[in-house]
Amino acid sequence: MHAVRLNAPEQLEYCSIPVPVPGDMEVVCRVESVAICGTDPHIIHGEFPNFWPKAFPLIPGHEWAGVVETVGESAAALGWKKGDRVCGISHVGCGHCAMCMQGRYTLCDNYGHEEFGHRQYGHYSQGAYAEYMRSNVKAIARIPEDMDFNVASCMDPLSIALHMVMRSRIQPGDDVLINGSGGQGLMAILCARSLGAGKIMVSGSGFRLEVAQQFGAIPINYRDEDVVAKVKELTGGKGAKRVIECAGTAVGIRQAIDSVAKGGVVSMVSLPGGDIPVPIRRIVLEEIELVGNRANPNTLEKAISLAAQYPAEMQRLITHEFPLSEYVKAFDIFNGRKDNSLKVIMKPQL
Least distance to Zn ion, CB of residue 87, Å: 12
For the bound state, the minimum distance from the C-beta of residue 62 to Zn ion, rounded and expressed in Å, comes to 6
Residue 101 or 251 having the CB closest to Zn ion: 101
Using the minimum distance from each CB to Zn ion, give the nearer residue, 63 or 174. 63
Q: Select the residue whose beta carbon is closest to Zn ion and give its number.
A: 37
Residue 340 DSSP code:
G
Pairing state between β 289-292 and 260-268? parallel
Looking at the Cβ atoms of 94 and 143, the one nearer to Zn ion is 94
Amino acid identity of residue 65, one-letter, is A
CA atoms within 13 Å, Cβ hemisphere of 81:
2
Checking phi first, is residue 192 left (phi over 0); if not, alpha (psi -120 to 50) or beta?
alpha
- CB of residue 129 to Zn ion, shortest distance in Å: 13
State which residue, 108 or 212, has the beta carbon closest to Zn ion.
Answer: 108
User: Secondary structure of the chain: what % helix, strand, coil (to 5)?
Assistant: 35, 25, 40
CB of 110 to Zn ion, least distance (A): 5
Binding site residues, Zn ion, CB under 5 A? 37, 63, 93-94, 97, 100, 108, 110
Cα distance between residue 178 and residue 70, in whole Å:
41
At residue 148's C-alpha, the angle toward residues 143 and 152, to 5°, is: 55
Question: In whole angstroms, how close is the CB of 128 to Zn ion at the nearest point?
Answer: 11
In the bound state with Zn ion, the residue whose beta carbon lies nearer, of 70 and 296, is 296
- CA 195 to chain CA mean position, Å: 19
